[in-house]
Structure formats: structure tokens, C-alpha cells
Structure 1
């Protein structure tokens, strides 16, 4: 008896679960919808068909079956028919629309004139009229593709020249992208915009760059309605010297100088001017002071390009006597054209006042390997004797590699005294630098006793010989103070 009651209870529960709920539609397709006409589509990639769904429900939320719904697409300012679809038993219909990259071209709308074609879930009888429905403009959503930006070009650029960088903007699927991109460069720890470029129909663009130092580049592409943003891998472009690097052994200069200014113009591009006010202020109390044998009017400033030991071109400057600055300019210009480098060329006043020399600190200038001319001071190692540089007619070149034998030893180092180099250190009058100086009236007056020192002979001066000429007459003798005619003076 108990078992029979249990079976009956289980059977009753099963029937209750299987029975439809009161008021619920017997057909699952006839479920309730929001009243009115609706149009939807999932996010879809540009260039692909988007499945568009139209749903029509009456005021009670019941599907309107067999309704002819017109779907239109906005083209410019005109609505054009895309399709006419008929709703099914669920009050819905589907169609496809290929999406473009511009959201403005993906605007659609659906309209229904209020007439149902056949009976269905709607309460309206067949052929009866209801209020017309319209969705209004609906922008079909785009799904963004993944972008790919590439930047290619050479790995090196010779200084003062340019190279071409090429960029390409595509989707991951390989479709070209047309639009504006940003080229950036990184110097130090910051990226900065170099140029804005526009890719063509193939997704390509190019530009030329001329970095003066090692530089990194990248391209950034913007986010678009149909495409994600992207940043290209970094492209490194190394700047290389246009000239030949000097490779030396031995000790390096004890004094470090800042990197000189970059060269200006083509070739040596010498420029001779009177002494500007700012330069004269810097010289006064350093390379010039009261009692000097030549004043501002008798001096000139020479600015000239030269090759550095690192193979790059720099702009150097020195002060010299007006009567011989043209000869120095011509000699240094020929050195430039021959590819013969100068370690550094800063005015001597840069090195400050030296109480020991009663002028600018030539010890510091030599310790830096500096090339200079005018400096109203005493001879290094000979207190009380005025240096030929005080007249602005003497030129010291590459002082570190070409030591001076002073009364208290070799200055600025002894390592180079017995060594030479075909481009920067000379121990013979046949060396190319010595020969160039001689052609322009600058004599290697003291030879290896003061290797870096040359004295300019003003045009028209008398002829004679100097200790560095080893008894040979090569032209007019330099005009030297009496104390320096037979003894070495620097």
C-alpha cells in the first residue's frame, strides 16, 4: 500500500513538470520580444558580411509573423534598398551586409508598413493593418582587426648624409592600410615626433633621415574604427664617420675637452673675421693683457672645418696675427683636403690664466692635444722670455703627439718623443704635415726639439734658416724675438 502511494506521487510530479506553464506560449519560437521593430548585428570585421537580424513584435511583445520588412543602407545622403525580408514564426528575419572600414558607410535602417502577410503569434489577423514601424538609423558595429606596422632601412648612415627609411602598414591578414602615421626618433630617454607620413594604397610610405648620432626610430599607427593601433619594432640607425679614424697606442691626453662644434658647409670652409666683442672679452686677461706686442686690431679670428681623430668633421677656431692668418688658413685647408686630422682646435683663452706663464695656460692646452696660435705668454720653461705666440705668428698643431723639449723635460709627454705617425705625428721635415706647412710659409722652426711648433713668415720677410731646417734654406726666416732666434721657444 505504501509503495503504491509513492509511485503515484512520483508520477504526478513528472506530469506537473512536463505540462506547459499557464499563459506561456506552447511554441518556443513564439516567445515575447520588446514591442516594435528592431535591427541588430554582432561586431564584424570590415570587408566581411555581417549577419543582420530584424525582429518585429506587436504591442503585446508577440512576434509578428510573415511581415515584409524593408532594409535600407545609407549611401552618401541617399537611402538605398539592401533587401526585403519576411519575418518567420519568431518574428525575425536575417540578411547579410558587407561592412566597410568607414562607420558612416555601415548605417542601415528597417521599415515595416504595418501589414502582416500571414497569421502567427501576432494578435493581428491576416492582412490586417497595424501602425507602421521604423528602426531609425543603426550603425552596424565593426570589429577591429589587429594592425601591423613595419619600419625598414639600412643599419648605418654616414655622418652628414641621409638614408631612406621605408614603412609598411597592414592588417595581420596582409591587407594594406592607407592613412597617416607618425615617425618618431629616440635620443636619450625620450621619443619625439620626426614627421607625419601618409601611406599610399599599398600601405607604404618612405622618408629620408640624416641623424648626426646613433638614433632609434619607430612608427606609431593610430587606432581606427576598424583597426587597432600598433607600434613598429624599433629600428636602430648608427651614425658612422665620413673620414678615417686615427687609431693610436700609448697614453691619452690628460686633459679632456668637450666635443667640438660640428663642421659648417662643404670642405674646410674657412672664415676670417675681426675679433668679435664677445671673443675679445674672453681673451682679455687670458691670452691678451696690457703690454702685449699686438692688440685687437692686429689680430683676426679664424674659424675653419677640420677632420677629427674619430673621422668626423668639426669646426675649430684660433686667433692669429692679421698679417699671417691667411697663410695659416691656407695650410689648415690643405691639411683638411689631404684628410690629415686635428685632435682639437679651441682658442687658447679657453684654458684660463696661468700665473706661471703670464698668459693663457699652455700646459693645459698641450695636455689636451689642442691646436692654437695667438697667446701672449712667456715661453714654457723659460720664465721672463716672451713666447713667439705673443705676436700671433706661431701655430702649434697636435701638441699631444708632438712633444716640446723644454728646459725641464718633454711636454706634454715623453712617450711620443721617439714615435711618429703618418697622419698626426712628425719627426722629419719630409712628413706630409711639415711639407704642407712649408708650402704656405710656416716653418718647422725647431724641428724635433719642438715638433708641434710652426712659425709663419710674413710675405716679403727676409730669407734665412732655422734650427728645424737642418741647414737647408726653404724660404724666408720667421720673425722671432731675439731670445728665440737660436734657442727653442714655445
Structure 2
């Protein structure tokens, strides 16, 4: 190459190099970090932004945007300027929902330094200890309601808004959920409770992002009867057969209901209180349901089966016993006591030993084999059978202690007793006097119709 051509080539290269503008050089890479210390909700925390460029050198005087995620949406939280160490703080208040304590930082970059975005960081919440409490009156009259007051707060007295579970426990049972309620902004809420038995209550508060879970102390409510329990004479024996407490009353007042025999109940009756050869069939019988006052002072729901033509009389008498406050020990259908081979029907021995009140039972007379009982026709009613014994052909049943004693509410030995007169007003005759103190027969057209063998004798 000639010297002249070499000079031209060198000059061309120099011109090409000097013609490249400085702005065309690649910006230096940067690194942006963000730290978010945790703590208690509602307290302040200082985020720290750190911006460096190549080699880890701090970037001074750079503006960094910090964003906070609120309900899933990124919103500006503030803009900071880095210092000589490449760092900048940003004060933030921790919120009670963990999802609202999430941040990210971004640096827009310039001609010299490249943009950068920090990883998303979440500030961990430290849960405050919470306290759940419930207060209830110590006693409530059955079928009335009481107000329970629930409170949920932190140990520092800050109200907690959230849903707590009400739990209840009765004798012999485990804790069970009884509903949920949500506390207001003051951390309080009221609940109306209507316990039907002695009940213990507590509330279970769940853990939230900012508070711990808690279970309140236990509060007991004593359910007391609306009426005074029966007081029996000192030394009075208890029934030999113990029955479970019958279901509580339904509706208001006596709430008398007379209906045809439902399929399920007829299935229970068949082979026990009713069987082939009985003088009355399903169509001639009715189910009588009525509320009654128990010896315990509570209202209960009882039922008997009676003949169609006597169900109004029997039901009306039982309803009036309720209205006038005459207690009944129990009122289960006789089928509950099973079949009796001795009686060829429902086991009236067991029913009497329990003090049970019953009506229809297609069986033989107690202690008189082969003689059909008036109860087989569904027109007879036995009331409070433990306190009102029957003088059978072979002796008193179910006990002899009560035979010489009476009681103003539950035992009668005279036709002048208020219960005997009440029954008579409904056409139910205390036919056999002291021979069968528990037994009443429904009159038809003014007459009591009895099996022939029972006309001249006491038949139960």
C-alpha cells in the first residue's frame, strides 16, 4: 500500500470513531433491593431501599418509587431518594391483613444507569394475643331467652372484628357448635339464647393475620322450670321403672292435636298394643298429642291412643289438666313398654311401675287372665299410675304405699278430688272408686260401656 492510501485509511477510521455519540453506550446495570421488617399490626415499620450499580457500588441521589399492594392492586406508597450509601428509608404502617403488607420498588433508570425492579417482599405480622369472653345470666326460666354478651379484643384492649363460634355443652354431651356471630367495630356482639336445659357456653375465636386464636372461659346457665315442681310426701317411694325425660312441650298452651294414626306409629303398635282379634282397628283409633306439666315443673309433650269416639273427651280432659296446672308424671304410648305375655298386650305392669299415663291397650285385665280389659276399646284412661294404685284380683299394683294416701295435685281417693271432678266434666267417670284409683272411662250417651265380665267387678 502506498503511503498516501495508508494516510487516507487511518483518517477514515479516526473519523468513524469520533462520529459515534456518547449516548449510544449501554447504561450500567443496576440492582435494587427492598427490605420490609415485620411487627405488630397498626404499628410503623421502616422499609429500606438499596440501589447499586456495577460492582456493587452505591448509587447516590437516585429516585425510587415504592408501591404497596392493596386488595390485590398496586398503589404508590412513596418516592425516596438514595443517599451516599445507595439506601433510603420509607415509613409504613402495618395493616391487619397480611395481603396488604406487600411492597415492591422500581427505579426508572437514566442514560447512565439501567432501570431496575426489586423482588416483591412481604412484611411478616407478629400476632398479638387476643382474649375472647362471654357473659350470660346465671339462670333462665325455661322457654324464655337471655342475652349473652361476647367480646373479642387484644390483651392491650384493641377491639377485634371477626367471626367467632358459639359453642354449647349439656350434661353428658361434648361441646357442639351453636352458631357463629361477627363482632362489631368495638369488638362486641350480643346473642339471644334460649336454652331448654342446663347449658354451658363458650366462644372460640379463630386466629387472624394479626391476632392469635383464643377460647373463652365457660359460663353456665341454669335452666329453671316455669312452674313449681311437685312435692311428694316424705318417704314416698320412687317408681321402680325409670323413664327418660319426655320431650319438651310444643307450641303454646296445651296445644291439643288429635289425628289419625300415622304409619310409623301404627307399625310400633302392631304386635304390642294392637293385634289380630282386637275389638277396634286402626280406623277406629286416634292419636292424641297434648302438652302437660311434668312433676319437674317443666312443660312436656305427651301422647296417648284413644278410640275415635272418645278421643275428644280424653284429649279435652288432658288439656284441661294442663290449663289448671295438674301435673302428669309421664305420658308415653304403652307400646314403649313392649309386649307382655301375661297380659297378651302392651306391658301395663311396666307402665304402672313407671307411673305412666296411657289409654288404648288391647290386653287382658291385670291379674285376671282371659278377661278383656276396658282399655282394649280405647275408651279408658289411666292417670299417674304410680301414685294411684289398682286393687287387682291378687293385690295392689304397682305399690301399696300410696293406697292410703292422697295428694292435692297427683293422687286422689275421693270423687270430690279436683282431678276426679275435672274428668267427670269431660264425661270420664272414675267408675271404680278406690278399687282402681288411676282408671277413668269415657261415657257414651251418658253410659260407660264395659266388657261383660267387668260390669259387676273392678276391671283394669
TM-score normalised by the shorter chain: which range applies?
Answer: 0.7 to 0.9
Task: Say if 1:197 and 1:205, in contact at 8 Å, map to a contact too.
Answer: yes
The 10-residue stretch of structure 1 (409-418 or 354-363) with the greater mean CA deviation from structure 2? 354-363
CA separation of 1:48 and 1:262: change in aligned 2, threshold 3 A: same
| 1:247 to partner: Cα distance | 3.5
Alignment match, 1:55: 50
| 1:343 to partner: Cα distance | 1.2
Task: Say if 1:149 and 1:221, in contact at 8 Å, map to a contact too.
Answer: yes
Task: Say if 1:69 and 1:110, in contact at 8 Å, map to a contact too.
Answer: no
Query: CA separation in 2, counterparts of 1:81 and 1:263?
Result: 63
Give per-residue Cα distances to partners, 1:162-206, cap 9 Å, x unaligned: 333222222221112223333333455544433232222222223
Task: Say if 2:51 and 2:86, in contact at 8 Å, map to a contact too.
Answer: yes
CA separation of 1:80 and 1:356: change in aligned 2, threshold 3 A: closer
Give per-residue Cα distances to partners, 1:302-340, cap 9 Å, x unaligned: 222222222232222222222222111111000011122
Alignment match, 1:359: 345
Given candidates 161, 166, 171, the residue that maps to 2:154 is 171
| 1:226 and 2:173 matched | no
Query: CA separation in 2, counterparts of 1:352 and 1:225?
Result: 59
| 1:348 and 2:334 matched | yes
| 1:371 to partner: Cα distance | 1.0
| 1:370 and 2:340 matched | no
CA separation of 1:363 and 1:189: change in aligned 2, threshold 3 A: closer
| 1:480 and 2:459 matched | no
CA separation of 1:110 and 1:348: change in aligned 2, threshold 3 A: closer
| 1:70 to partner: Cα distance | 3.5
Give per-residue Cα distances to partners, 1:394-439, cap 9 Å, x unaligned: 2110000111122322211111122222221122323221121111
| 1:156 and 2:139 matched | yes
Query: CA separation in 2, counterparts of 1:288 and 1:48?
Result: 77
Query: CA separation in 2, counterparts of 1:362 and 1:201?
Result: 62
Give per-residue Cα distances to partners, 1:197-220, cap 9 Å, x unaligned: 222222222333334333333323
| 1:250 and 2:220 matched | no
| 1:300 and 2:286 matched | yes
Given candidates 414, 429, 435, the residue that maps to 2:400 is 414
Correspondences of 1:205-354 after superposition (within 5 Å): 205-248=189-232, 249-354=235-340
Query: CA separation in 2, counterparts of 1:99 and 1:280?
Result: 68
TM-score, length of structure 1 as denominator length: 0.77
Query: CA separation in 2, counterparts of 1:290 and 1:113?
Result: 98
Give per-residue Cα distances to partners, 1:4-25, cap 9 Å, x unaligned: xxxxxxxxxxxxxxxxxxxxxx
Alignment match, 1:101: 96
Give per-residue Cα distances to partners, 1:42-74, cap 9 Å, x unaligned: 21212221133333444334555x534535343
Give per-residue Cα distances to partners, 1:345-389, cap 9 Å, x unaligned: 222233333333333322222111111122233332334433322
SS of the residue corresponding to residue 415 of structure 1 reads coil
Given candidates 404, 408, 421, the residue that maps to 1:435 is 421
Query: CA separation in 2, counterparts of 1:383 and 1:109?
Result: 95
Where structure 2 has 5 or more consecutive residues not aligned to the other structure, the ranges are 1-29
CA separation of 1:134 and 1:479: change in aligned 2, threshold 3 A: closer
Given candidates 33, 36, 40, the residue that maps to 1:45 is 40
CA separation of 1:421 and 1:45: change in aligned 2, threshold 3 A: same
CA separation of 1:364 and 1:61: change in aligned 2, threshold 3 A: same
Given candidates 379, 382, 399, the residue that maps to 1:393 is 379
Task: Say if 1:56 and 1:87, in contact at 8 Å, map to a contact too.
Answer: no
The 10-residue stretch of structure 1 (90-99 or 161-170) with the greater mean CA deviation from structure 2? 90-99
Alignment match, 1:72: 66
Task: Say if 1:154 and 1:237, in contact at 8 Å, map to a contact too.
Answer: yes
Query: CA separation in 2, counterparts of 1:132 and 1:282?
Result: 85
Task: Say if 2:199 and 2:221, in contact at 8 Å, map to a contact too.
Answer: yes
| 1:36 and 2:31 matched | yes
Given candidates 69, 75, 78, the residue that maps to 1:82 is 78
Query: CA separation in 2, counterparts of 1:137 and 1:359?
Result: 82
Where structure 1 has 5 or more consecutive residues not aligned to the other structure, the ranges are 1-34, 116-127, 462-476
The 10-residue stretch of structure 1 (179-188 or 47-56) with the greater mean CA deviation from structure 2? 179-188
TM-score, length of structure 2 as denominator length: 0.82
Query: CA separation in 2, counterparts of 1:114 and 1:276?
Result: 85
Query: For this pair of structures, how many residues does the alignment match?
Result: 426
SS of the residue corresponding to residue 55 of structure 2 reads coil
RMSD, matched Cα: 2.9
CA separation of 1:283 and 1:86: change in aligned 2, threshold 3 A: closer
